[in-house]
Amino acid sequence: MRDFLPEDKARRERVLAVIRDRYRAHGFDEIETPVMEEYSRLHAGIGGDNEKLAYNVLKRGLDADAIAAAAGDPSQLTDLGLRYDLTVPLARFYATHRGQLPSVFRSIQIAPVWRAERPQKGRYRQFVQCDIDIIGDASSRAEAELIVATLDTLDALGLAGGSVRINDRRVLDWMLDSFGFDAAERPGVLITIDKLDKIGPAGVAAELRERGAAAQSVDAFESFLTRPMTMEYHPFGERQIRKLLPDAAPTDIVDHLVGIGEAVAASRPGIDGQPTEVPLVFDPFLVRGMGYYTGTIFELAHPSVDYSLGGGGRYDGMIGRFLGQDVPAAGFSIGFERIVDLVAAAQDDAPQAVVLVHDRDIPAGELLAHKAALVGGGARVRLETRTKNLKALLERAAADGYTAFATVSTGIPAGEVDLKPLA
């Protein structure tokens, strides 16, 4: 867990303000839930591996007997935990407040989550997630709205050129079925397929054999992975999707993906209305870890980095578990901690940021009158007592985003200080 000093904190808040603004422009509404949820809800099997990483809060008022009795079952020591994602709280929120929300509810959640990860570079135990979700729309328009809002937000952050890798869990399921993997072995097979980028087709086949997957299925799958392909290019759409899948992929799933592409394309017209490249890439081997996805899955890519900047998908089953009634849902989460490092520190939004360097013995009233006059005129103002090393003082102020300075001594009328630009 980290402290944020002023420069970092200012950058984080500016990035969050852009994200919030763009998501709101796209018709999403921000909500907030408490950081603590009930232990039983956090450990209902929806959170996958994250459940094991949850911080649990000690029950209050435990006496010696209660503690001793919990020796065999530590879960008796806790009734609340810190959320490890924003999806479980959203499902609980929607089930609670559904009657007060629009029939298609587009939510924004921008908030910290906690996971007791082993400390390593780029992993934090407290980090901010930026999620948008659409609850109540089963059509491909939902995915398109999520993708367009996310790419528009990247653009607004100065990260134009983003794209989305996309697949569908049902494609994976159908494909594995068509190669003869039975339902029981498919979760294990998916874990191996997820490594395709790293270990290649031969590596995948070898690992599947090691796992004891049916030999005939592995052979069929390997020969599909290594089949010769024509190199002609197709933009995202039915031809590209069908080319990358075994023959006879189910039409309804392909149509859903094609529908997303068409809606995204319509939302991002080129200059003078010319068609532009659809920023979608069909990847039939994209898996994504969470068990709750039921349909489309996607990951956010940007040419400046070789890792994903976010992801999401459709999870039509989850809300129903809290509500006792199926409700379609899809979400897209931006990896805020990854993105904030890529964004150049935006300009301070104050029109002018002024350091007033003053003599130690100037009367406080005079000094604060100068400050008030500048603040009243729209500036951001920091007071600094003059030190021997004025240069170092001004350099630090410039690093903190200050753009001008004045030296003041007693007797100058308020509002008449002489501002000089900070180099």
Residues 246-305 close enough to bind a copy of itself by CB under 8 A: 259, 262-269
The one among 64, 184, 248, 271 contacting a copy of itself by CB under 8 A: 64
In whole angstroms, how close is the CB of 315 to a copy of itself at the nearest point? 20
Considering only 40, 48, 68, 239, the residue that binds a copy of itself (CB under 8 A) is 68
- Smallest distance, Å, CB 127 to a copy of itself? 10
Provide the minimum distance between the beta carbon of 150 and a copy of itself in the complex, in angstroms, as a whole number.
13
Q: Which is nearer to a copy of itself, 215 or 399 (CB)?
A: 399
Task: List the interface residues with a copy of itself, window 320-359 (CB under 8 A).
Answer: 350
* The one among 18, 41, 51, 77 contacting a copy of itself by CB under 8 A: 77
Sign of CA dihedral 291, 292, 298, 303: negative
- How far from each other are the two terminal CA atoms of the chain, in whole angstroms? 35
How many residues does the structure list for the chain? 423
Strand partners, 297: 167, 313
- Minimum Å distance from CB 348 to a copy of itself? 8
- For a copy of itself, the binding residues in 366-405 under the rule CB under 8 A are 366-369, 371-372, 375, 378-385, 387, 396, 400
Contacting a copy of itself (CB under 8 A), which of 364, 418, 421, 423? Answer: 364
Residues 6+ away with beta carbon under 8 Å from 256:
140, 168, 295, 296
- Judged by DSSP in three states, 101 sits in coil
Is the CB of 90 or the CB of 193 nearer to a copy of itself? Answer: 90
Nearer to a copy of itself, 194 or 366 (CB): 366
**Residues 17-56 interacting with a copy of itself (rule: CB under 8 A):** 17, 20, 24-27, 29-36, 55-56
Show the binding pattern over residues 112-131: x = contacts a copy of itself (CB under 8 A), - = does not: x-x-x--------xx-----
Of residues 78 through 97, those in contact with a copy of itself by CB under 8 A are 78, 80, 82, 93, 96-97
DSSP-assigned letters across all residues of 320-339: HHHHSS---EEEEEEEHHHH
Q: Under rule CB under 8 A, how many of the chain's residues touch a copy of itself? A: 95
- Asked whether 348 and 10 are in contact (CB, 8 A), the reply is yes
CA distances from 129 to 89, 112, 135, 245, 412 (A): 13, 6, 18, 33, 50
Q: Per CB under 8 A, which of residues 187..246 are in contact with a copy of itself?
A: none
Q: What gap in Å lies between CA 178 and CA 184, rounded to an integer? A: 14
**At its nearest, how many Å lie between a copy of itself and the CB of residue 321?**
18
Q: Any contact of residue 103 with a copy of itself (CB under 8 A)?
A: yes
Q: Is 267 helix (H, G, I), strand (E, B) or coil?
A: helix
* Pattern 142-161, a copy of itself, x by CB under 8 A: --xx--x---x---------
- Least spacing, CB of residue 155 vs a copy of itself, in Å: 11
Write down the least CB distance from residue 407 to a copy of itself, Å: 16
Element at 282 (helix H, strand E): strand 280-282
Backbone angles phi, psi at 281, to 5 degrees: -130, 115
Q: Which is nearer to a copy of itself, 203 or 275 (CB)?
A: 275
Closest by Cα among 310, 342, 20, 335 to 147: 310
Name which of 73, 78, 75 is nearest 62 in CA terms: 78
β-pair partners for 56: 81
Q: Out of 45, 60, 118, 119, point to the residue binding a copy of itself (CB under 8 A).
A: 60
Q: How far is the CB of 250 from a copy of itself (least distance, A)?
A: 20
Q: Could you tell me the smallest distance in angstroms from the CB atom of residue 350 to a copy of itself?
A: 7
Query: If you compute the radius of gyration of the chain from its CA atoms, what whole number of angstroms results?
Result: 27
22, 23, 28, 33 alpha-carbon torsion, rounded to 10°: -130
In angstroms, give the least distance from the CB of 347 to a copy of itself: 14
State the CB neighbour count (10 A cutoff) for residue 55: 18
295, 314 contact by CB (below 8 A): yes
Taking the least distance from each CB to a copy of itself, the nearer of 278 and 334 is 278
Give the span between the Cα atoms of 391 and 382, in whole angstroms: 16
Interacting residues with a copy of itself between 5 and 24 (CB under 8 A): 5-6, 9-10, 12-13, 17, 20, 24
Q: How far is CA 358 from CA 30, 122, 302, 362, in A?
A: 44, 42, 48, 7
